[in-house]
Amino acid sequence: MSYLLYYSPDSANLVIRMILEELGAHYDDSEVPRRRSERDATFLRLNPRGLLPVLIDKANDTVLFETGAIALYLADRHGALAPSPQAAGHQEAQARANCLKWLFMLSNTLHADLRLCFYSERFVTQSSEIAPLRAAAAKRIQGHLALLEEMLAEHGGDHLLPWGLSVCDFYLGCCLRWSQLYPAGHAPMTAGEVERFPNLIRLLTALQRRPAVLRALNREGISGDAFIAPTVRLPARVADGVGAATA
């Protein structure tokens, strides 16, 4: 199996790169501009929304976008990093359901609210609305993290799912990285605030130690601790302007 990952360093593609590395999958990558408005027609044909990540499965010429969908596709294809959809018994069926629940929560709630912070200017008509929107999103994000912290505390493991290491861990790790970094100076949480979540810190520490994660970080040019009090790899993103584009 072989893949092509479209990326921009230290963007949402990092989730997928970590998963590809963990699976030991063979893949190439192709860099695209950081801003959606600068991505060309060829890329837009792959993802009409113009967003990263995009993954091509070369074995069957399949084009995938949406982080959660790509993560689950890879897990199912490789039979690793998620409980199998062919659940043989009650426990396996529950583990699969649990994985789907949290993966979708990360994708359509936590990541979606992070986008409200990163791209606030796109969701408003006047610049005076940006700070209140960002503050409201930050509050929601802190609530989501508190819920995830509780989930982890309940089973006390190093991974989000009691089942073991899954695609959810890589996705959550990146969301926590972004929560402390972006947008520069207005991140939903300061680096120190992550200390309020000792169970999440345990998960992040375990993630940072994985050789596959270190390889992925290296390929994206990220150094130091990527998840706890991280430092930004790139200059802050330049805003597209108020109401410049749809989310």
Ligand X SMILES: N[C@@H](CCC(=O)N[C@@H](CS)C(=O)NCC(=O)O)C(=O)O
3-state DSSP call for residue 120? Answer: helix
Between 113 and 142, how does the x/- string for binding to ligand X read (CB under 6 A)? Answer: --x---x-----------------------
Q: Which of 5, 12, 194, 200 binds ligand X (CB under 6 A)?
A: 12
* Sign of the Cα pseudo-torsion (63, 175, 169, 234, in order): positive
CB 111 within 8 A of CB 176: no
Q: Which stretch binds ligand X (CB under 6 A): 22-30, 107-115, 185-193, 202-210?
A: 107-115
Chain centre distance of CA 125: 28
Going from the C-alpha of 214 to that of each of 20, 119, 227, 241, the distances in angstroms are: 12, 28, 12, 35
CA end-to-end span of the chain: 33
* Shortest distance in whole angstroms from residue 240 CB to ligand X: 7
* Shortest distance in whole angstroms from residue 105 CB to ligand X: 13
CA distance 53 to 49: 11
In the complex with ligand X, which residue's Cβ is closer, 95 or 148? Answer: 148
CA distance 190 to 64: 33
Identity of the residue numbered 201: I
Q: Which of 6, 11, 167, 220 binds ligand X (CB under 6 A)?
A: 11
* Shortest distance in whole angstroms from residue 122 CB to ligand X: 8
Does position 111 interact with ligand X (CB under 6 A)? The reply is yes
In the complex with ligand X, which residue's Cβ is closer, 95 or 116? Answer: 116
* Shortest distance in whole angstroms from residue 56 CB to ligand X: 15
CA distance 49 to 1: 26
Going from the C-alpha of 154 to that of each of 48, 92, 146, the distances in angstroms are: 40, 19, 12
* Shortest distance in whole angstroms from residue 154 CB to ligand X: 26
Does position 35 interact with ligand X (CB under 6 A)? The reply is yes
Q: Residues 42 to 101: which contact ligand X by CB under 6 A?
A: 51-52, 65-67
In the complex with ligand X, which residue's Cβ is closer, 111 or 159? Answer: 111
The continuous run of DSSP H or E covering 65 comes out as: strand 62-65
Binding site for ligand X (CB under 6 A): 11-12, 35-36, 51-52, 65-67, 107, 111, 115, 119
